[in-house]
Every structure is written in C-alpha cells, then in structure tokens.
A and B are shown apart, each in its own frame.
Chain A
Amino acid sequence: MSYIALSDRDKREMLAKIGISSFDELFRTIPENIKLKKLLDLPSSLTEIELYQYFKKIAAQNSYVDFLSFIGAGAYNHIIPYVVDYLSSRGEFVNPYTPYQPEISQGTLHVIFEFQTLICQVTGMDIANASLYDGASGAAEAVLMAHRLNKKTKILITGTLHPQYKRVIRTYVKNLGIEIVEIGYNEKGGVDFEDLKEKMNDDISAVVSQSPNFLGIIEDLKKISDMAHTAQALSIVVVSEPVSLGLLEAPGKLGADIVTGEGQSFGLPLGFGGPYLGFMACAKEFIRQFPGRIAGQTKDVEGKRGFVLTLSTREQHIRRERATSNICTNQALCALRATIFLETIGREGLKELAWQNIQKANYALEKLCQIEGIRRKFSGKIFNEFVLEFSGDLSKIESFLRKKGIIGGLNLGEFYPELENCALFCVTETHKRKDIDRLAESLKEALKGKQE
C-alpha cells in the first residue's frame, strides 16, 4: 500500500519549484557515511486485502476469546453499549490532535469537560483532569503529587494494591528519594490496621490504598483516610474497578484527598491490556500541583460559551523541568469512550450495573464455596472479585477446567507467594447464572477427580 497523494507530474513540478532534480538532493544535509545504502530489511508491502488476511490469521491464534473466563484483576469484561463504538469511531473524534486550537476543537474540549464532571461525580471530588495513561501510572502520578504538596518523602502503600501499580509506583519514585513502605493485610483481606498504625508517623507523605482491593475486598476507606490525616498525610485512594462506585460510597465522601484509578471498565474493551484510561480527581485546593491536561469553561469574544485547555502553566510545554508532570499526549479517545459509556448507561444504569456485579459475584462465591476442596480465603465484603483457596494443586485444576472450555480465576501464587493454591475470580454482569453454574459443576468434577 501507499498513502501518497502526489502524481508523477506533481513530484516533477515540486522538485522544480524547490530547484533540485532528484529526491536524493532533499537529503543533502545528511552525511553520506550514515545514509542507508540499501532498503530496510522488512517484509515486502501488502495490499489492503492481504494485510487484513495476514492479521486475521494472527488474531485467530488468540483462542482465549473462545473460553468462558473468570479473570479480572484490574481488567474487566463489562457490557459496552453499541453507541460507544459507533460514536467514538467518528473521524472527527479519532483524527484530531490535542485541542491546542480551541476554536476548531470544541467537540474534544466539550467532551473533556463532561468527562471531568463525570469523574468528579463518581469519585465525589472537586476537580478531575482530562486523563492519564492508566490506573498504574495514575497511582504513581498521585504519589508524586503528594510529595510535591507536603514535601515529605515516605509513602505507605497497602499490600493489596494491584501488584503492577505497586511496581509502577516504585519505578517512578526510584530516583526521587521517596521511600515506599508496604502495609500488610489481615484475615479479612483488608488493610491490617495494626500495621498501618504502627507505621504511621509524621514523615508519611501519603497512604495509598485501593478499594475494592486486589484481593476483591472492599476496604474501610474512612478509617484509612482518618488515620492518614492524624499524621498530616494525604489519603490517596486507587480504584481499579470503578463500576463499584455505582453502589459504594464515593471515596471523596470518605476522606480521600486524591482519587485515581483505571477507567477501562467504562466502555473500553480488554484489548490485551491497552489502551486503557487513567483518571484522577482531587480536592480543589491542590490544583496547582495537579498533573495532566485540564479543560475549563470560558467565553468567546461574542459571549458564547466555549472550552479551552487551562492552567497550562503547570505543564511541560511552559514549565519544562518544573512541570507538575511530563505527560503530554494522554488517552483522550479513551476518555471520550468513557464519557459516552457513562452518559449512555446513566444514573440508573450505573447503579444497576454495580448491583448486578455484587449480586452475581456473591452468588458465585457462595456456590463455589459449597464445593469440597474449595475455601473462601478472606472474610471481608467483596464487590465482583474474590479469592478461593483450593486443596491441592491449582495448576491441575486449571488444566481440567481448560478442557471444559473454562479459564478459572487468576493464580495468585505469582503475586503473593503466601497465597499458594489461591485464585482470584471475577464475576461481572456479563456472566450468566448458567456460566457460574457451569464453572461450579466443572470445579466439582475437577476436585472430585483429584480426590479419587
């Protein structure tokens, strides 16, 4: 394929206008000793039809999509109303860049403004930004923001924060003299308050907690935030499953100072992990240290309402090394999808979605725990994920399920060595009762076979 729009005559005329006679002369400023002497060693070009066939074959190797799966762990399979795909694929949304010229970018800016409002509403915070890369880098940006706000250099993170988010935080702070201290979890699967209390002191910049946490447990955010505040630390709340906010109290009402998380559940496909959508919201007094793009309302010279990117003096293109973040391109189109998603499912829909998730997951939890050889690992309240402990070798059970066309939960041994033979199951509104029953039947069979 070629996407060049010049005819041979155009090329001749243009070379003549420039006053040169060959393409080589266009590159006269590049020294000969670094110029390629031959073509790149790449596969030869394909037509559109060949290209599609090529990728169809590759995509078909992903047989995962034919399985009934119960994996969540930060990436969730939820319904996506068709209008999300339909509207978000309009060229006018897909093909502009960052709205540097507001007069011809009102669509994008208006959407960002609505997105910011929706994020404020679900998180219960004052202000939100236009998006960050994903939940993990959102958590890292929140930690850096807390450090800028109070200059303290120690961060407490709960052990049940998504393991990848933990790793990203550690990577981001590594060179900035910020120390990360992890807090344990208790038998309920929630934060170990004794441990938190012990480690809490005036040097702590922020406490980072996640609810529902990586083990599926809903945390007592009020208690965590209150404890943070007693030592003048900030409470950063991470939400990797924001559908929970259709039912659970907004972190902003429970004392959170910064709420950040992963917006994938709001209308983004699993997509093997990306592109996803980091969101971030905070109390308004922190705005000067807030990272990322922000849209604001204003008027044009005729008094008509319009939107612009604002507070850009915080950003890298003005502030350079003193910027609040290095972020430039973010996840605008993903934020658009989330906006369409939330406005389409609406107030009742979000509530119902959360309700169905918590009900189905609890139905599954109860049903699976009746099976001999399966035990509920943690006693805390769950939203749409839970940890089961298996008597016996989990990998054998996994391969049995595989033969039945089922991918069970995520094996936690890799993330928590102490949780050997434990798996994290996720059940959402996309699982029908008969899917859950099928999982239960298969597990029963798997464990029975093992015991015989």
Chain B
Amino acid sequence: MIREPLIFDISDKGKRAFVLPELDVPPREDILEGLSLRDEIEGFPQVSEVEIVRHFTRLSKTNYCVDEGFYPLGSCTMKYSPKINEKIASLPGFVSSHPFAPHDLVQGNLEVLKTTEELLAEITGMDAFSLQPSAGAQGELVGMMLIRACLEERGNPRKIVLIPDSAHGTNPSSAHICGYRVQEIKSNEKGTIDVSDLDQHMTEDVAALMVTNPNTLGIFEADIKKIAEIVHSKGGFVYMDGANLNALVGICRPGDMDVDVIHLNLHKTFSTPHGGGGPGSGPVGVKRELEPYLPVPIIEKEENKYILSFNRPKSIGRVRSYCGNFLVIVKALAYIISLGPQGLKEVAEIAVLNSDYVRKSLENEYHLEYTSPTLHESVFSDKLQKKDGVSNIDIAKRLIDFGVHPPTMSFPLIVHGALMIEPTETESKNDLDLFIDAMKQIAKEAKENPEILKSAPHISYVRRLDETTAARQLVLRWNK
C-alpha cells in the first residue's frame, strides 16, 4: 500500500494543475502603489493535475463511509444519503445564485426555504421555523437565545438552565454561551429524568430545561408532558434537542408534548450527507410565543411573491451570514418530499425495529446499564468485557477489522465504557446480521484472546494511533 505523502512534499517549482485564461485588460502597476504586497508563499503547493487526482483518490480510500457499510455511530444517525438529492442540489439555479440577488430573481430559492419551514413545522408540531443555524450546536444556541430574549422582555432573563446528565456536550456549552449557569439533573434508575428531582430544581431562577427525547440512551421520556408542566408552572421554557428525530417522525410530535423550542439536524433525520463533519444544518422551531424573536431575515409571502423581511424588532439578530446552509436545506426538502407522510413514518418504524433487533441480538453478550425499552438506539457497555481487561475502545477498534464503523463511545457520560449503537432504518438485515455476528465474535475473543482486541485494528491503513503524543507534541501543520 502506498503511504500517501503530504502534498507539500511532492510539490516542485513549475508544476501546474490549472491555468487561467490570459488577462484581457491592460495591466497597470500604479494601482499597487503604497500597498504591502507579499512575497512568494513559501511551501505553497505546485503540483500537476494527475498528482492532485491521485492524491485525493488514494486519501479517499483510507476513509470508511456509509456508502461502504454499516455505520452505527449512536446519536449521529448515519443513514444512507439518497444520491438524487445531490444532483438536485447541483441544479444551476440553486448553485449559482448570489445571496444578495434581487428577491424577484430568486423566487425558487425562497420557495425552497419557505416550503421547508412549513413542512418541518408540520413534522414537529411547532408553529414557526428558522433555517439559519448552520448545525445542531448553532441551533441550540439560537434556541436558548430566543428563550432568553423572551424572558428578558418579561423582565428577568433568569440564571440557570437545567440539563440532564445524559445530554450531549453541546447542550451545556450552548447554554453557557447564552450566559446561563448549567445545573445537572440526575437520571433515575430507568435512565430518564427523575420528575421529583426536577421538581426540586425547578425554581423561578431557571430559564429552561434542555431535554433530549428520546434521550441519548434511546429511552423515551414518557413523563414529558408532566415535565413540561413543572417547567411551565415556574415560568420556564422546555427546550428539546431534536438533533435526532429519527424515532419520532410520523409517530408523535414535539409540539404536542408541550415543547416550546426545538432544533433539528437536517444531516441526521433528514439524510443530508455528513461530509466528514459538516456542512450540516440546524433549523430551530418554536411555538407562537417565541416567534417574534427568531433570527432575521424571515421569509414572507407578499402578493404571491416571496421576500426576505427584516422587520422583526424583537429578533435576536443573526447567527450567520445570508440564509443558512442553503444547499443542505435543498437536499433535506428533497428527502421529505420524496418520502411523503407514509415514507417518513416508515423511517421511524424501521429505525426502531432495526435498533430493537440489534439490542435483542446482543443482550446476552453485552451489558445494558439501563434496561428500559429503547427506540432508535441502545447503549451497551463494556462491563462484561472489562473483567478480561477489554475496554469499549478495544471492542470498537476490533470492529474495524470486521469492516464495520464502531459505535459512539464518548457519551452518554452516565454509562461507563459506553457503546452507543444506532443502526438507522436504511440497513438491510444482512448488514445488521454481519454486525451482530462481529459483536458476538468479539465478545468471544474478549474471553479467549483479549490481546487480539487490544492490538486492533490489524488491517487498516494505519494501526492504533498515539493520541496522547499528538496532544503533547503538537504538530498541527506541515513545515519545511
């Protein structure tokens, strides 16, 4: 196997991969007078086109991806991304329009945005949406800002945000940037919010509860209406992290659970590709009460024409330029429209079926910290394997040898040695069985030959990497 060099190491003076058409206006030197101009950029690449193509082709082959196989990365919803949506998002009318184009010349784009807002409102049971946030974390930030703006107008922004200990790390981080102190709510033995604990913590200093439902254990917070009632009774808001709505689409709606504000990740439930870590899109939905605070611009329809309106005096402002990750939104809309209401319901049904099937098939081999029924994902742990000195990381790395992407391990923090498995609805039974067989084999190896796990992976482009040294002796860029 070729060890792929850094492009900078194969660069050499005079090589070109691209040539611009010749300048067709008379060049002038006087326009540069008084400017600080740069010297040659030292080390900047100079390579040929074929070298570029081989470099990136070979690099791509060292990546694992959903198109290649099972990717049960819990909470990330690594479902298959339909290919036609890529082609749709590359239509010239979408790709080549300028964000400052006159509104009457981009009616198609504005229709895409408005339609997406309306369909998401129907899917979630919320009243209005903003598609501006670029990803889930920015959606959370917007959601919390809306709550704060509303409370401020009522006279007191309050100080605290309650977050269950099973939440994703972006929740507390977003609340913090919004100027709130985070107070953790302990999960009960069932893995859900302890209503009496919430009741105690819920005071008039609390601005909001950030809840994930189903939570990161895959368990539905069945007391959600009671929870919302407690929060509302003290004048707080219920924020729902709907990054992953895969278990609920077409089955039930956050709006009907008395949630006040929610963000969605279009790159999860709505199939837009994850791109190696973005671009995503994190729309925010609200009930009427919070609508005046949504980011500007707002898409409005006036006399059969769409316009971008800035006439929202109470708006929190903007969190990014222009209208969000537009081309991502196009793909998500294509997904919703292609599936229709029946298809979306089927997404939730099969996502839960696949997850339950995997859970049932592995419960003899792996420990389940919380045994409550789960929906789209389940969280096992390495407790049984720990006895033989094998950790979740070893299990994950060994899965790579079996041609499967490992589950999520970094959270939920309430499960030590977590293996968070989310199959999604697009997997075939054959692929699920391959994964189940691999996990069983690994459980067996943990008892009989733990060394093979600890030294895994064995057949990848690189073997286990030294992350400690990477953080201690920082090499963050190429140098000559």
Contacts and interface: CB of A to CB of B under 8 A. Distances in A.
A101 interface: yes
Given A10-B429, A133-B138, A356 B326 contact: no
A272 B17 contact: no
Contacts of A144: 177
Contacts of B195: none
A36 B252 contact: yes
A122 B38 CA distance: 10
Given A59-B93, A60-B93, A432 B174 contact: no
Nearest to B359: A18
A45 B252 contact: no
Interface in B388-407: 396-397, 400, 405-406
B42 A121 contact: yes
Contact of A343 (B7, B107, B119): B7
B37 A249 contact: yes
Given A5-B427, A51-B338, A172 B321 contact: no
Q: Of residues A221, A349, A429, which shows the largest number of chain B Cβ atoms within 10 Å of its Cβ?
A: A349
Nearest to A106: B62
Nearest to A38: B341
Given A34-B256, A110-B4, A346 B16 contact: yes
B407 to A, nearest CB: 10
A81 B98 contact: no
Contacts of A320: 169, 172-173, 182
Contacts of A191: none
A279 interface: no
B464 interface: yes
Given A83-B49, A97-B274, A101-B396, A270 B98 contact: yes
A271 B134 contact: no
Interface in A85-141: 86-87, 89-108, 110-111, 113-114, 116-118, 120-122, 126-128, 130-131, 133-137
A312 B409 CA distance: 14
Given A273-B323, A336-B276, A346-B44, A48 B462 contact: no
B203 interface: no
Given A42-B122, A42-B123, A162 B321 contact: yes
Contacts of B168: 317
Contacts of B140: 326
B145 A175 contact: yes
Given A4-B425, A14-B353, A133-B135, A97 B276 contact: yes
A75 B337 contact: no
A99 B275 CA distance: 10
A370 interface: no
Contacts of B111: 58, 61
A254 B405 CA distance: 45
Interface in B216-261: 219-220, 222, 224-225, 249-253, 256-257
A285 interface: no
Interface string B318-359: 111111111110100010111111111110011011101100
Interface residues of A, number: 201
Contact of A127 (B92, B280, B408, B476): B476
Q: Of residues A107, A136, A433, which shows the largest number of chain B Cβ atoms within 10 Å of its Cβ?
A: A107
B100 to A, nearest CB: 5
A440 interface: no
B225 A31 contact: yes
Interface in B278-336: 278-280, 295, 316-328, 330, 334, 336
13 contacts: A36-B256, A47-B338, A92-B68, A102-B467, A104-B400, A105-B62, A130-B277, A175-B157, A248-B38, A310-B474, A323-B173, A327-B138, A336-B276
Please classify the interface of chain B as helix (H, G, I), strand (E, B), loop, or mixed, using the class held by over half of its residues. loop
Contacts of B4: 106, 110
Contacts of B18: 81, 344-346, 349
B276 A96 contact: yes
A34 B475 contact: no
B428 interface: yes
Contact of A96 (B65, B87, B375, B455): B65
A353 to B, nearest CB: 7
Nearest to A436: B25
Interface stretch (A19-27, A197-205, A229-237, A444-452): A19-27
B154 interface: no
B73 interface: yes
A3 B197 CA distance: 42
A387 to B, nearest CB: 15
A233 to B, nearest CB: 21
A54 B111 CA distance: 12
B273 A95 contact: yes
Interface string B2-27: 01101110000001111110011111
Given A26-B349, A64-B101, A96-B66, A347 B40 contact: yes
Contacts of A254: 36
Contacts of B156: none
Interface residues of B, number: 199
Contact of B465 (A93, A130, A162, A298): A298
A31 B258 CA distance: 14
B209 to A, nearest CB: 15
A54 B80 CA distance: 22
Given A103-B460, A362-B31, A55 B88 contact: yes
Given A96-B276, A137-B138, A271 B327 contact: yes
A249 B36 contact: yes
A278 to B, nearest CB: 9
Contacts of B271: 3
B405 A101 contact: yes
Contacts of B82: 1, 3
A271 B34 CA distance: 36
Given A91-B65, A344-B18, 16 more contacts: A10-B428, A45-B343, A48-B338, A55-B330, A91-B66, A91-B67, A93-B63, A95-B273, A104-B63, A104-B460, A248-B38, A271-B97, A275-B278, A306-B462, A310-B476, A346-B47
Contact of B279 (A175, A262, A331): A331
Q: Of residues B6, B265, B427, which shows the largest number of chain A Cβ atoms within 10 Å of its Cβ?
A: B6
Interface string A25-37: 0111111011110
B471 A310 contact: yes
A352 interface: yes
Nearest to B96: A65
B476 A321 contact: no
B190 to A, nearest CB: 10
Nearest to B58: A107
Contacts of A294: 476
B108 A60 contact: yes
Contacts of A311: 471, 474
Contact of A326 (B78, B174, B375): B174
Given A62-B105, A272-B98, A106 B321 contact: no
A287 B477 CA distance: 13
B465 A64 contact: no
B225 to A, nearest CB: 7
Contact of A107 (B60, B73, B84): B60
A58 B276 CA distance: 29
Contact of A92 (B40, B63, B109): B63
Given A93-B276, A326-B137, A135 B91 contact: no
A315 B172 CA distance: 12
Interface string A141-157: 00010000000000000
A40 B327 contact: no
Contact of B426 (A4, A167, A300, A316): A4
A41 interface: yes
B414 interface: no
Interface in A1-19: 1-7, 10-11, 13-15, 17-19
A334 B281 CA distance: 14
Contacts of B8: 114, 117
A218 B177 CA distance: 33
B271 to A, nearest CB: 8
